[in-house]
Structure 1
Amino acid sequence: MSAPDAITSPQNPRIKNLLRLQQKSSERRSQGLTIIEGLRELTIARANGIEVPTVFVCAELAGPAHEAELRALFAGSGTEWVEVSKAVFGKVAYREGSDGVLALARPPQHTLESLVLPENPLLLVLEAVEKPGNLGAILRTADAARATAVIVCDPRTDLFNPNAIRSSIGCSFTVPTVATSRPELLAWCAARGIRTYAAALTEAAVPYTSCDFRGPTALVMGTEADGLTPELMAACDQTIIIPMQGYIDSLNVSTATAILTFEAVRQRGA
């Protein structure tokens, strides 16, 4: 049973706003908010300094243990606590088997100039990424490899799409993620001596295992449908391939990114 002051109508203005934020990137941009669902993801977000103005909780789904953990997580933070009925939560939840926790969060605003680079940065560059699931999976790889940042050129999805956050299992908040343009990226890399490796099937491409990724490195990946644009491919220092032994000539972009990233990690002796 819901608490007496819980939101029980899907027509409630706050619930309608949650749905708008889920469905429209323009709303997320204009309000400066995104949505995080799940206690694990929220815990990671909080550990990385993400501001969470409001948390919506369905006590029936969360259960006493999760609710107590959630209250401890936000103790003294000033976060607003809003209870909702199970029926209403079912309208706003965007994944199966939800644990009854959903929050509004202010995503970080990273830029190329704000990135703090180590001596030998390892950057993952994605051009025109459009599938939030791929972005989320690559963010998980970046987190696991302790990559310096993920940089997205001319993105076709916003970096903090709720589905990207879900796919990343919260790694959207552990790895600095920047949206920029192709010219800005290339100029920024050149100014910092970062060597760019474009994953592309060309005559000039060399196997990734023959490359030296121990210095400042940017691994540049295209979309699954179209690959890299000719302009970005031509501007990179080297094109590389993952040799294929079977019938197919390509891999899922998140899988390919993971292979290249962990080769760089191996070479760096991490």
Structure 2
Amino acid sequence: MADAAPEEVPEVAPFPRPGVLTLAATPIGNVLDASVRLVRALEGGDLIAAEDTRRLARLARDLGVTIAGRVIAYHEHNEAERTPWLLEALREGRSVVLVTDAGMPVVSDPGYRAVRAAIGAELPVDVVPGPSAVLTALAASGLAPDRFAFEGFAPRGPSRQATAFARLASEERTLVFFESPRRTAATLAAMADAFGAARPAAVARELTKTHQEVRRGTLGELAAWAGAAEVLGEIVIVVGGSRTVAARAEDLVAEVLERARAGERTKDAAKAVAAAHEGVTARELYALALEAPSA
């Protein structure tokens, strides 16, 4: 009987692919979250564009990876200058891998400019999915995950924050923000003012790391905690959505005046009505009540 022919081994497509821009997600804390495809991308990429080359070297060392390709720094301060380099490498048929310090490139990280440029030049873009601080915090928060909006880093400065949060006060989806530890207390206080101190929220820090913590409570409780404690680490704030459609202040003045006619101080009536409705403040209601003809 003739020997059986050896089974044909299927050809494995090269990865990362030549001429393709590959966005590769990196661990947000625990190096064990690195994917097999990330390891292969780092080992096989012809050009590795890294937000911080020192962090990339440390990650490669922790993963036991030897990077044979050329490594360049690619961050917010040199994206405009170096994006043409990436396109040139892609046109020459080299594989380009883009990584940031943690998580998925493009999401509040460098990479968007490169993606837009590659698409505009009709060059292919691939993604190696992986860890995400946004989804990790959302899942751990205990707040509704079915509909959510990622707002990136909260605006800096009281005035800009107040304006931005006022626009979001009636948003019914769960909201996710990034924040620095030194601004966390002030941001939570501003959120409590805009969304209401009773709005449920969560603060997640050092996700997937040894000292991971997810603190849940109302915005008022979390603002008090952050104001009294030293907040450390990378911060994600998750805020529950508004459960009611925001009322217009003009529509609530009559209720304030009615309570005032019943003997309640106008200022106290404005506070009580504002506390019962999303998206309005006691100061705004009080001012409108004083201006009303029947006040």
Q: TM-score range by the shorter chain?
A: under 0.3
TM-score normalised according to structure 1 size: 0.28
Larger Rg: 1 or 2?
A: 2
TM-score normalised according to structure 2 size: 0.26
